[in-house]
C-alpha cells in the first residue's frame, strides 16, 4: 500500500466508533481504550494521542517499530505517525486523550523548546511514569472530563484548554527528566529537524522562505525539505505556515490590533496579502475569524 493511501485516524473518525466526552472535533476523552474497535490495517494519526496504561499489557507498532506497554506507561503518538499491529491482553485497561493538532498547537504555543519534546516523543512514544505521576494524570483526566461534560459552562473550551495545558506541562516535565538522565541518541535528521524548528520559532515573524532556513543550517533547500518531510510527515513550508497562522489567530482573538498592524508585525507586504494568505489557510477572512 502506498503511504499516501493509508487511512487516517482523527477525532471525527474516532467519534464514529467511540462516543466519548468531546469538544467538537478538537478533543476526545476515552475512558477505556479496550472499548475501541482496533483496525485491522495501518492507520496514520491525524491528531495527537496521549494514553495511559492502567492494567494489563499491550503492544503495537509506530512507524514499523514495535513497542510494548505495561501499567503506568504513557503512550504518545504524534500527528503523522503510522500505527499498526495492535495487541491487547484480556485484562488491558487504560485511558486516553485525543487532541487535534491545531488545538494542541494552540495549547502549547508558549512552551519553550517544544521541538526537543516533539523529537523525543516521536522517538520514545512509550515512557514509564512513577506511580505518583500516573495518579496525577488520572486525577487530571477526571477533572478534564468533568469540565468537558459541563455543557452549561460558558467557557468550557477555554477551561478544557487550560487543564490540558497543565497535563502537557506535567508530562513534559517527565520527558525532560528522562531526557536529562538517559543517553538519548539523535540521528542527523533529528538534529536538523530540531534546529529547523528552533529557527522557525525564533524567525517566523520575518522569514518564510525555505531557502533562508536551509542557508542558516548550511544545507540545500531540497535536502532540508526531504529531511523535514521524512521526520515529521510535513514539509518545511507547512511548519512555517503553521506557526504564522497560529500567531495571526492569536493576535486576532487576543488583541485589539488592526489587521493592518498585524500585517506589519508579521512583515507581510500589505494587509491584502495577509488577508489572502489567511483565508487560504483558515478558510475565512481575518475579519470573519475575529467576529467568530
pLDDT-derived band at 181 (thresholds 50, 70, 90) equals low
Task: Specify whether the CB–CB gap between 259 and 272 falls below 8 A.
Answer: no
Examine the pLDDT at 2 and tell me if it is beyond 60: no
Strands (E), the chain: 8-9, 22-23, 27-30, 43-45, 48-55, 58-62, 65-69, 73-77, 82-88, 93-99, 126-128
What lies within 8 Å, CB to CB, of 89 at 6+ separation is: 56, 57, 58
Return the biggest CA–CA distance within the chain: 60
- Average pLDDT score, the chain: 87
Q: Which of 14-18, 90-94, 102-106, 126-130 has the lowest mean pLDDT?
A: 102-106
Q: Counting Cβ atoms within 10 Å, is residue 290 exposed (0-12), middle (13-18) or buried (19+)? A: middle
What is residue 179's predicted lDDT score, i.e. its pLDDT? 67
Q: Which of 25-29, 62-66, 89-93, 120-124 has the lowest mean pLDDT?
A: 120-124
Contacts of the segment 61-65: beta carbons below 8 A, 24+ positions apart: 61/85, 62/125
What is residue 111's predicted lDDT score, i.e. its pLDDT? 53
Q: Span 188-291: which CATH code?
A: 1.10.10.60
pLDDT in tens, 222-271: 999 999 988 877 899 998 998 898 889 878 887 889 999 999 999 999 99
**Higher pLDDT among residues 189 and 113, named by residue:** 189
Task: Specify whether the CB–CB gap between 217 and 224 falls below 8 A.
Answer: yes
What is residue 116's predicted lDDT score, i.e. its pLDDT? 57
Listed by start position, the domains of the chain span: 3-181, 188-291
Say what percent of the chain tops pLDDT 90.
54
Answer yes or no: pTM beyond 0.75.
Answer: no
What is residue 56's predicted lDDT score, i.e. its pLDDT? 97
End-to-end CA distance of the chain: 41
pLDDT-derived band at 176 (thresholds 50, 70, 90) equals confident
**Higher pLDDT among residues 71 and 176, named by residue:** 71
For the domain made up of 3-181, the CATH class stated in words is: mainly beta
Chain-centre distance for alpha carbon 52? 17
Task: Specify whether the CB–CB gap between 144 and 165 falls below 8 A.
Answer: no
Strands (E), 100-207: 126-128
What is residue 120's predicted lDDT score, i.e. its pLDDT? 66
What lies within 8 Å, CB to CB, of 167 at 6+ separation is: 50, 97, 137, 140, 141, 144
Q: What is the mean pLDDT of residues 28-55?
A: 90
Q: Which of 80-84, 108-112, 216-220 has the lowest mean pLDDT?
A: 108-112
pLDDT in tens, 125-156: 888 999 999 999 999 999 999 999 999 999 99
C-alpha cell at 242: 503553521
**Higher pLDDT among residues 126 and 115, named by residue:** 126
Amino acid at each position: 500500500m502506498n503511504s499516501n493511501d493509508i487511512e487516517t485516524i482523527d477525532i471525527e473518525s474516532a467519534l464514529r466508533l467511540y462516543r466519548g466526552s468531546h469538544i467538537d472535533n478538537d478533543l476526545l476523552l476515552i475512558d477505556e481504550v479496550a472499548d475501541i474497535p482496533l483496525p485491522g490495517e495501518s492507520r496514520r494519526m491525524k491528531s495527537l494521542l496521549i494514553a495511559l496504561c492502567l492494567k494489563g499489557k499491550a503492544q503495537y507498532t509506530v512507524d514499523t517499530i514495535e513497542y510494548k506497554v505495561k501499567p503506568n506507561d504513557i503512550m504518545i503518538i504524534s500527528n503523522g505517525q503510522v500505527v499498526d499491529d495492535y495487541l491487547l491482553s484480556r485484562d488491558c485497561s487504560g485511558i486516553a486523550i485525543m487532541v487535534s493538532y491545531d488545538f494542541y498547537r494552540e495549547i502549547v504555543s508558549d512552551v519553550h523548546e517544544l521541538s526537543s519534546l516533539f523529537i523525543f516523543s516521536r522517538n520514545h512514544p512509550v515512557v514509564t511514569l512513577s506511580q505518583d505521576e500516573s495518579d496525577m494524570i488520572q486525577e487530571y483526566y477526571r477533572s478534564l472530563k468533568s469540565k468537558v461534560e459541563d455543557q452549561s459552562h460558558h467557557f468550557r473550551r477555554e477551561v478544557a484548554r487550560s487543564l490540558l495545558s497543565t497535563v502537557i506541562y506535567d508530562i513534559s516535565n517527565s520527558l525532560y527528566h528522562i531526557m536529562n538522565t538517559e543517553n538519548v541518541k539523535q540521528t542527523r535528521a533529528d538534529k536538523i529537524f530540531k534546529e529547523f524548528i528552533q529557527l522557525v520559532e525564533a524567525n517566523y515573524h520575518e522569514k518564510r522562505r525555505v531557502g533562508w532556513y536551509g542557508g542558516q543550517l548550511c544545507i540545500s533547500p531540497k535536502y532540508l525539505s526531504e529531511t523535514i518531510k521524512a521526520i515529521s510527515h510535513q514539509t518545511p513550508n507547512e511548519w512555517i505556515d503553521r506557526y504564522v497562522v497560529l500567531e495571526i489567530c492569536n493576535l486576532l482573538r487576543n488583541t485589539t490590533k488592526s489587521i493592518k498592524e498585524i500585517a506589519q508585525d508579521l512583515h507581510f507586504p500589505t494587509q491584502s496579502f495577509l488577508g489572502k494568505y489567511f483565508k487560504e489557510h483558515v478558510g475565512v477572512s481575518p475579519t470573519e475569524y475575529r467576529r467568530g
